[in-house]
Amino acid sequence: MDAAQNLAAQALPVAVIGAGPVGLAAAAHLLERGLEPLIFEAGTTAGAAIEQWRHIRLFSPWRFNLDAATVRLLESAGWEAPRPTALPYGGELVDNYLAPLAALPAIASRLQTGARVTAVTRAGLDKTHTRNRDTTPFTVRAEHADGETRDHTVAAVIDASGTWSRRNPLGTSGLPAIGEDTAAERISAPLPDVTGRDRAAFAGRRVLVVGAGHSAANTLTGLADLAKDEPDTRILWAVRGASAAKVYGGGDLDGLPARGQLGGRVRRLVEAGKIELHTGFGISSLKALDSHVTVEAADGRTLDADVVVPCTGFRPDLDILRELRLELDPAVEAPRELGPLIDPEFHSCGTVPPHGARLLAHPDKDFYIVGMKSYGRAPTFLLATGYEQVRSVVAALAGDREAADTVQLELPETGVCSTDAGTSCDVPAASAAQSDAGCCASPEPVLVGFPTGLSHGRSGSN
């Protein structure tokens, strides 16, 4: 029995975990294929994670942020697409795209909000049982808004739950720094709205921003804007590496100009002394005092701050998948074959060969991790990549293997993105050559993404 017959015979829905942009796109593709989505969203509304960073402007324009199947669904209800070249704020992505999408009867009737998935397993089988595993439905356990926990039987599971709820700790070894838990009151959310919603917590305070990614860059520039009105605001910035070059980015070489400009602005603020940069500052402990928190580096240096902003990245919640048979890259915690293509140790490009169901498959058949969570701990995920993932995954679930394997390029070809001899594909050939698209096997790699103008990942900078 192939996948389509199997799903049809079971007459069961396909669970989609998370109503972010990728989860909702998966639902739209399922509907187009005549399959029944059952969407679980932990938050009170669709796009609950993006709601937390609604004040941040995306660096990719609308035309790369919309999924084709959702656009077809929305347009059939009279929706008008935003200007394709405009850069939306997170809030606009929610208000002008995700909220109208979630409100369509076809989606609303299949969306359960306030429903947090706490576990996924095969019905009646724990992880050690092999017999009939492939044809056994899944059980999705969810805690619902009414306080009840219920088990839902589904034919397949698409986990699009993102990584927003699991920030990496401040500690330098992947563990929380000693005292990090007890200092929780002095640690903000990862992307606070320092000039708006959260202004009072930052105005006139000593703020320590920790981390070297786009979140750090956004927070630092926001704090610099705040400091213009509130001159007592002091901005400290601690990075683990020997330099902040990664944040400054590729400038004019960045394929997304907004991203290049952000890094350039941070550089100028540091050079002008508006931001006090501390490099090589791997955090070992935090000591919360009544008046402030003291943050200590592994080499003994200390910084005093009123509030710490953790821009340390995110990691996937694998606990809910404990009873499933997964195959993950040991470093990146992405599906095994995807891991080497996006490993931040080697990649800074944000480019990746288009890939789909075959690359994202796990030993447990008909289970897929997609979207931000599919990148595990790698920070370079782009929505356009996720939309192609779910188009392919849903085609596979519908039994259309040809469509599933024809991974398509939805973005302009960016060619090689490194500034030296390497490409985004300079990963161990054996692993790269197995990708859906065979990226590195071809002489002219075709990549989805946008060059950052940086030459390498961490291995090139530290």
Ligand X SMILES: Cc1cc2nc3c(=O)[nH]c(=O)nc-3n(C[C@H](O)[C@H](O)[C@H](O)COP(=O)(O)OP(=O)(O)OC[C@H]3O[C@@H](n4cnc5c(N)ncnc54)[C@H](O)[C@@H]3O)c2cc1C
- Residue in 216, 297, 320, 378 binding ligand X, rule: CB under 6 A: 320
- Residue in 102, 104, 117, 303 binding ligand X, rule: CB under 6 A: 117
- Residue in 13, 21, 250, 340 binding ligand X, rule: CB under 6 A: 21
Q: What count of other Cβ atoms lies within 10 Å of the Cβ of residue 370?
A: 31
- Residue in 165, 172, 408, 419 binding ligand X, rule: CB under 6 A: 165
- Closer to ligand X at the Cβ: 22 or 210? 22
- Closer to ligand X at the Cβ: 138 or 164? 164
Q: What is the dihedral of CA 318, 323, 325, 327, to 10 degrees?
A: 10
Helix (H, G, I), strand (E, B) or coil at 345: coil
Q: Is 160 a binder of ligand X (CB under 6 A)?
A: yes
- Closer to ligand X at the Cβ: 2 or 413? 413
- Closer to ligand X at the Cβ: 207 or 372? 372
Residues in 182-211 that interact with ligand X by CB under 6 A: 191
- Residue in 62, 237, 248, 381 binding ligand X, rule: CB under 6 A: 381
Q: Is 356 a binder of ligand X (CB under 6 A)?
A: no
Q: Is 22 a binder of ligand X (CB under 6 A)?
A: yes
Whole-number Cα distances in Å, 61 to 47, 73, 92, 431, 456? 18, 20, 12, 32, 25
- Residue in 37, 162, 335, 344 binding ligand X, rule: CB under 6 A: 162
- Residue in 53, 97, 248, 346 binding ligand X, rule: CB under 6 A: 53
Q: Which residues contact 52 (CB under 8 A, 6 or more apart)?
A: 164, 189, 191
Distance, in Å, from the CA atom of 272 to the CA atom of 89, rounded to the nearest integer, reads: 28
Q: Which residues contact 168 (CB under 8 A, 6 or more apart)?
A: 174, 310, 312, 313, 314, 315, 377
Distance, in Å, from the CA atom of 409 to the CA atom of 387, rounded to the nearest integer, reads: 11
By rule CB under 6 A, what count of residues binds ligand X? 36
Express the helix, strand and coil content of the chain in percent, nearest 5 each: 30, 20, 50
Q: Is 23 a binder of ligand X (CB under 6 A)?
A: yes
- Residue in 29, 33, 116, 347 binding ligand X, rule: CB under 6 A: 116
Residues in 69-88 that interact with ligand X by CB under 6 A: none
Residues listed for the chain: 462
Residues in 411-440 that interact with ligand X by CB under 6 A: none
Q: What is the dihedral of CA 272, 58, 88, 351, to 10 degrees?
A: 130
- Residue in 14, 30, 35, 42 binding ligand X, rule: CB under 6 A: 42
- Residue in 30, 283, 334, 382 binding ligand X, rule: CB under 6 A: 382
Distance, in Å, from the CA atom of 455 to the CA atom of 192, rounded to the nearest integer, reads: 30
- Closer to ligand X at the Cβ: 50 or 224? 50
Nearest to 457 by CA among 353, 340, 370: 340
The neighbouring-strand residues paired with 153 are 139
- Closer to ligand X at the Cβ: 60 or 121? 60
The neighbouring-strand residues paired with 235 are 207, 275
Residues lying near ligand X in the complex (CB under 6 A) are found at 17-23, 40-43, 47-50, 53, 56, 58-60, 116-117, 160-162, 164-165, 191, 215, 320, 371-372, 381-383, 386
